[in-house]
Structure 1
Amino acid sequence: MKLSTFCRIPARRIAKTGICTLSVLLGTGLFVSAQTVTDRFAPLPAGAVRLTNFLENDIRNSIEHWNKGELPYREFVEFFRSQAAPQFALGEMWGKAVRSGCMFYRYTQDPELKSILKATVEDLLSVQNPNGSISCTPEEQQPGGENGDLWERKYVMLGLDEYYRWVEQNPAVLEALKKHADCLIAQIGHAPKTEIVDLGWSATNIGHEACHIESSTLLEPFMRLYNWTGEQRYLDFASYIVESGGTKHFDLIQQACDNTLPYKMSGHYPKAYEMMSMFEGVVEYYRATGDERCKQAFMNLYDNIRKNELTIIGNAGADQPYHPYVAGEAWGNTAFEQTNPDITRMMETCVGVTWLKFCSQIMRLTGDPSPVDEIEKYVYNGLLGAMKPSGDGFSYVNLLNGNKVVNYGWGWHFGDFYVTCCNLNGPMGLAYIPYVAVMEDDRGPIVNLYNASEIDMTTPRKRPLKLSLETDFPLTGNVIIEVTPEKKEEFTLKLRIPSWSANTVVKVNGKTQEVAPGTYAELTRKWQAGDRIEVAFDMTCRVIDAPHGSNRKGDNFQAVVWGPIVLARDQNIDPDYDKPVRIIADENGIVKIKKVNPTLPTTRIEFAVPTADGEIRMTDYASVNGWEGAKICTWLPVKTE
């Protein structure tokens, strides 16, 4: 079967053929393009997963107060209409807002949200230029360079793609998307066109030699368009981007193949957000072509980010000590430098959300549970910890000690309403939670996340199947899963056993199963209505010593972790929040903590933690409200007296 061939066959059959992937288009019909590589896991159809309680409250808060709230969609389109944007890259705002809105619609099927999205898409299509571009740059000045024209047009493509995929398969949207892409193909390429690595703002915006890493992120939307159409020119343009290497002076794919550490990739400008955005496209390119060099590259990058960049709350990047001029948005060997007291900006929300999406790609492709461990860590700590309690936005960057939230950086004021790249990207992280929570393969369901939820799906024989997760996780580690197939049927239900849970107990109808941390427990049986799975995760509280980075002043700190939840001292309830302490732990680093009633109504979890000088109160990192000026202490200075 040629790559341009299309399939209109049932999703379950697609998964078995090894010819077509179903990972990106489920929920809008079964029209998918042929691929040479099949994902191991597939998301469930739109609306199949319904969360309750813990994470659901955050999702609804964001939808109501952000995507359906104050977002100035008309003003976003006006940047394209006037073609006189007052600042570089403002054209990204429309695509980011619509992208998360469409993913939220996939989850909620909310008619009000659909109406908002439909209106703004129609508004955007009205500004398409005669040459097909939807751009803030006038035709005679295209392709734009330091104004971020290609980055903006990338987000136009992603916004239109998400709308067409999840909200409405309007032929006019796909046609506009194709014209927009065809204009880029006409303008970008080998001479006499303009090379893609010669266009962009990075790193000239900080006074360094050009890098232009952001322009090559067009790879992802071009691969998505190829998946929709099967038209060879879109794959050819994607191949051109891959061959260009991603930046002006460095081949990022080859550097990743060579296991170059992330903070050393791309020379002086290893911008974390844009680099992962490009590599999301590399994953899609691999699905279509089977290019093993590409697979080696993105797998190496994934492993190196996990080992060398992620902080305790699951995000990455910092301004010190390697790339201070990138304002905390570059890779910085952050896993080892996270307690460096010289750091002033770190862990951009755009980085965390793009890491979550990248992990979703790796998990779906490989069936490896480790990316879900990373998603869980970021969601419950970094993502929720960056969100405004009011729901109308996210912090630009986060700190572990001091000012937890910092909401200044690249953005624009619409009257009194301030919009940044990060409070546009944060909702996309929330929208991905139901997307990855429960999935399927050709053998049955896959439970990835353990928030309370109800799932309607089908068995491998296409019969109705309901799963019900009853739990207050992560307040406790107890989960009950009711399995209700319409008819008795043998299939395999996979449960992710987190790597942090050393002694997980899983029982099926009272019978204990053998499970191991960091794996999927495969439960194969003839399931019938009334079958019950009981899970008890090991929510042991552990103390963790600081990593040793380049600054010895960062060595003498400890952190406290409860299951997957990072704890912190909150100045809102503790005036001595940053005073040195010595946590009492046994020889294995286990701390005997006591759960207490939260001091504040907005706190999710609070504990009394033993120290040599008496108990201190610690809460989950995410609950600490730093938006009114209160500070945080996550890495606790160790008392040496």
Structure 2
Amino acid sequence: MLSKYNFFRSCLTAWAIFLSVLCQGQEAKVKDELRPALSVKLTGFIEQRLHAAYNNRILTQDVNRLVVPFRNRTETRCWQSEFWGKWFTSAVLAYRYRPDIVLKKKLDAAVEQLIATQTSDGYIGNYAPAARLEQWDIWGRKYCLLGLLAYYDLQKDTKTLEAAKKLADHLIQELKDKNTLIVKKGNHRGMASSSVLEPICLLYSRTGEKRYLEFAKEIVKEWESESGPQLISRSAVPVAHRFPRPANWFGWEQGQKAYEMMSCYEGLLELYRLTGKQEYKEVVEHTWSSIEQTEMNITGSGSAAECWFGGKALQTLPVSHYQETCVTATWIKLNQQLLKLTAAAKYADAIEQSFYNSLLGAMTPLGTDWAKYSPLSGYRPRGEEQCGMGLNCCVASGPRGLFTLPLSSVMHQAKGIRVNFFVPGVYELTTPARQKVLVSQETNYPVKGAVALKLQLEKPETFSISIRIPSWSAQTVLMINGEPASSPTGGQYFTITRGWKNGDHISLNLDMRGRLVYSGNGDQHFAIQYGPLVLARDSRLGGPDTDDALVPVAGNNGYINLEPCEVKNNTFWVTFKAWVKTESHKEGPTDPVPVLLCDYASAGNTYSDASRFRVWTPLLFEPRYAK
């Protein structure tokens, strides 16, 4: 009888799985405005950086070491369980960009090894039974869910989806059995734990099983409880001032934790897609504005000691534990979500600013390592190992931001194609009439501002091509097949709707004049920007000491002349000569002297005390002209 029972039980289980496969998936109520390119082959500097991270970080990861904690299950406070999911999700992004059999085998093995650790009740994690739900336990489960769902999307493997469902069901049941709120568990007013909202929403969209949608709604409801982070009701409050300064900076009462807060809002955008509830999108947009206006520094990142602190106004100061790379990568990911949903140029501008400066600046040239914190002056320090895992959270997070760029540089939109970023390569897309189109970009941007786009398609077709004009480009020239178009406006997309044919081309010349930016109390510091790049002093370039006060020799309307130059050290991406005045300590006028500048991503990127750098230069105070 027992064998017959097991036989029929197996049959019923198989039938249930079959039905779930037939019926799974829940169509979103809100569709993204933009969809990724089908494939892309990049060239140039960005491809070199992607190649380095692909080969020297993604492919070299010891997967077994990431899985060992899930087998042991003895942890009570640390976050080893996040590393598998962070590495895995970045590896899937890398694989989608460049499918490779070696990486595919590594992904297959990683999923198989992780699922093998799942307990009979569904738990995947590294915490001892008595410590479950506490500290970083749910946070780690979130990353496991994200990884499993990324693999399911890649392979449509039902075994992986079932493992994800069992993991989510176990969490839901465990919270119910212990009669506790998820916002009372974990760290930072429950933001770490309740950021599981994102994969729970993704799980519902892939299964259509209502319990996941109900759980997602319950999480958001708990946010607004007295114990919760109140991410909706306080969305109009600047992110650094939503709660009093905590006695324990990294304790539960810390409501300004940057990375975890943005992770929760990523989940809220997923819930918006599922429900169409406009308030959810507006809440994220309000918070985005607060972060952009009060926190983001000139290089496109922020946070001190991993929390919001009103940093935009304080960025000329030496800031402790500045610009966590986890924050940089998550800011890019949040902007990618908003860009897909809205197709608004400001989100692409924000991504570009962060990507070319703070993100690339955190990555070592060989792609093997990532800085945990990135100052705007001093030298770049290496991050320490965490939790005995051979890496830290930022080494795991950096590639998650890096590999968002390839398939989002040129994207599908309902009426045609949208060019978000100027990265050389060939992009494969489909037109509104469903024919294949190849868009090639020829450029060495941002070294120069010239971009050439060329179309390859079999049949002529009428559709739209929208090209982002960066907000800093005040004088932009755009031509179609050699004929000038009307002057594009910075900070918007320039849309061309016409009949396109094979060989049509668009040329774009962006305004790459050097721009002076002033900051600090009484404008006591200046910095220089070139296109999307922030420029910096570097002690390897010689000239005046990097800490000297200077006066830039400015041109009209806040621009400064930059002369491209070559230096013996070939580790710099771009280098320029500018003219400044120094303190002469004598009567009479001071003659200008040259100062050499490089891009922020290259500045100090030797992780050595000998390579000092500075973004914000102190202005020499002149009392005769003081206001």
Q: 2:138 aligns with which of 127, 142, 150?
A: 150
Amino acid at match of 1:574: G
Q: 1:510 aligns with which of 466, 478, 482?
A: 482
Are 2:380 and 1:404 equivalent residues in the alignment? yes
Q: Is the 8 A contact 1:253 1:294 kept in 2?
A: no
Structure 2 stretches of 5 or more lacking a match? 1-22, 246-253, 582-591, 623-627
Q: Where does residue 563 of structure 1 map in the other structure?
A: 531
Are 2:624 and 1:634 equivalent residues in the alignment? no
Instruction: Please list, as runs of the form range in 1=range in 2, the aligned pairs for 1:589-628 lying within 5 A after superposition.
Output: 589-612=558-581, 613-624=592-603, 625-628=605-608
**RMSD of aligned alpha carbons:** 1.8
1:174-203: CA deviation from partner (whole Å, max 9, x where unpaired): 1100000000110125x752210121134x
Q: Where does residue 187 of structure 1 map in the other structure?
A: 174
Q: Where does residue 499 of structure 1 map in the other structure?
A: 471
Moved more, 191-200 or 282-291: 191-200
Q: Is the 8 A contact 2:412 2:430 kept in 1?
A: no
- Once residues 599 and 85 of structure 1 are traced to their aligned partners in structure 2, the CA distance between those partners, rounded to angstroms, is 51
Q: Where does residue 341 of structure 2 map in the other structure?
A: 365
- Once residues 91 and 251 of structure 1 are traced to their aligned partners in structure 2, the CA distance between those partners, rounded to angstroms, is 23
1:285-308: CA deviation from partner (whole Å, max 9, x where unpaired): 011111222122111011111111
Secondary structure of the structure 1 residue equivalent to 2:216: helix
Q: Where does residue 481 of structure 1 map in the other structure?
A: 453
Tell me by how many angstroms 1:51 deviates.
Answer: 1.4
1:440-481: CA deviation from partner (whole Å, max 9, x where unpaired): 111111100001010111111011111110001011000110
Secondary structure of the structure 2 residue equivalent to 1:228: helix
Tell me by how many angstroms 1:635 deviates.
Answer: 0.4
Are 2:574 and 1:584 equivalent residues in the alignment? no
Q: 1:219 aligns with which of 183, 197, 212?
A: 197
Instruction: Please list, as runs of the form range in 1=range in 2, the aligned pairs for 1:401-550 lying within 5 A after superposition.
Output: 401-408=377-384, 411-414=386-389, 418-514=390-486, 515-548=488-521
1:313-339: CA deviation from partner (whole Å, max 9, x where unpaired): 000112xxxxxxxxx210111111111
Q: Where does residue 130 of structure 2 map in the other structure?
A: 141
Instruction: Please list, as runs of the form range in 1=range in 2, the aligned pairs for 1:379-394 lying within 5 A after superposition.
Output: 379-394=355-370
Change (3 A) 1:117 1:192: closer
Q: 1:53 aligns with which of 44, 54, 74?
A: 44
Q: Where does residue 186 of structure 2 map in the other structure?
A: 200
Q: Which structure's CA Rg is the greater one?
A: 2
Q: Is the 8 A contact 1:411 1:421 kept in 2?
A: yes
Change (3 A) 1:156 1:287: same
Tell me by how many angstroms 1:117 deviates.
Answer: 1.1
TM-score, length-normalised on structure 2? Answer: 0.89
Q: Where does residue 314 of structure 2 map in the other structure?
A: 337
1:467-526: CA deviation from partner (whole Å, max 9, x where unpaired): 110001011000110112211000001101110111111100112112111111111111
- Once residues 80 and 132 of structure 2 are traced to their aligned partners in structure 1, the CA distance between those partners, rounded to angstroms, is 16
Moved more, 569-578 or 246-255: 246-255
Tell me by how many angstroms 1:610 deviates.
Answer: 0.6
Q: Is the 8 A contact 1:197 1:248 kept in 2?
A: no
Amino acid at match of 1:312: I
Tell me by how many angstroms 1:228 deviates.
Answer: 0.7
Structure 1 stretches of 5 or more lacking a match? 1-29, 203-210, 319-327
Q: Where does residue 351 of structure 2 map in the other structure?
A: 375
Amino acid at match of 1:288: L
Are 2:31 and 1:62 equivalent residues in the alignment? no
Moved more, 151-160 or 576-585: 576-585
Number of residues of Structure 1 aligned to a counterpart in Structure 2 = 577
Q: Where does residue 4 of structure 1 map in the other structure?
A: none
Secondary structure of the structure 1 residue equivalent to 2:557: coil
Tell me by how many angstroms 1:249 deviates.
Answer: 3.2
Paired-residue identity, %: 33
- Once residues 40 and 605 of structure 1 are traced to their aligned partners in structure 2, the CA distance between those partners, rounded to angstroms, is 35
Q: Is the 8 A contact 2:184 2:227 kept in 1?
A: no
- Once residues 48 and 555 of structure 2 are traced to their aligned partners in structure 1, the CA distance between those partners, rounded to angstroms, is 37
Q: 1:106 aligns with which of 85, 89, 96?
A: 96
Are 2:87 and 1:97 equivalent residues in the alignment? yes
Tell me by how many angstroms 1:144 deviates.
Answer: 2.7
Instruction: Please list, as runs of the form range in 1=range in 2, the aligned pairs for 1:13-412 lying within 5 A after superposition.
Output: 33-45=26-38, 48-69=39-60, 71-85=61-75, 88-138=78-128, 140-141=129-130, 143-146=132-135, 148-166=136-154, 168-189=155-176, 193-202=179-188, 211-245=189-223, 249-257=227-235, 259-268=236-245, 269=254, 270-318=256-304, 328-341=305-318, 343-408=319-384, 411-412=386-387
- Once residues 246 and 62 of structure 1 are traced to their aligned partners in structure 2, the CA distance between those partners, rounded to angstroms, is 40
Q: Where does residue 587 of structure 2 map in the other structure?
A: none
Amino acid at match of 1:537: L
Tell me by how many angstroms 1:266 deviates.
Answer: 4.4
- Once residues 156 and 362 of structure 2 are traced to their aligned partners in structure 1, the CA distance between those partners, rounded to angstroms, is 34
Secondary structure of the structure 1 residue equivalent to 2:92: helix
Amino acid at match of 1:363: L
